[in-house]
Amino acid sequence: MQSKDLLSDKCFSFILNFALQEEKNAAEAARRAGYSAKTAKQKANTLLKDKVVASCVRACELLIMQIKAEEVNQTVNKDFVLEKRLKILESSIEEVPKMVWDYNKRQYVQEGMILSDGKTACMVLRDIEQSMPEDKDDKHSAAVLQRLFEILSR
């Protein structure tokens, strides 16, 4: 293959089109890159046999796999952090017995109920609000808001 072909926009377009396909179809990638429908299959085979093109395709595929893995990891991490925040919130708004010292009985006695940690609950709610996306119409945000409602309405 000539270096002129390697640097062409069509060649780069072919590499990207082919690397991005789930089900690899070289002729389709060549057509999308701008090669004629009549010669697309032959041109695709020629391009894939070239070591430089094959290396570029493989490099693109590896980058795509890495990007997808990072996206999944970020989603998992965000969900994990959110779940931890919701559990902290849940435990911080539980009512616990308010214990006071009874001087006559010389022991602590229960005098009503109080929130265990209102300050922590406020901090966690602020963190959750800041981590929510601007567009609160997506399904994930709706699920988070539903969970918050369930926790706060107990």
pLDDT tens digits along 44-77? 999 999 888 888 888 888 888 888 877 777 767 7
| Sequence-distant (≥ 6) Cβ neighbours of residue 62 within 8 angstroms | none
Six token digits for residue 115: 């929130």
Residue 110 confidence class, pLDDT cut points 50, 70, 90: confident
Cα dist. 51→17, 45, 47, 96, 133 in Å?
17, 12, 9, 70, 44
Strand partners, 113: 97
Report the pLDDT averaged over residues 138-142. Answer: 66
Six token digits for residue 143: 């699920």
Six token digits for residue 91: 């435990």
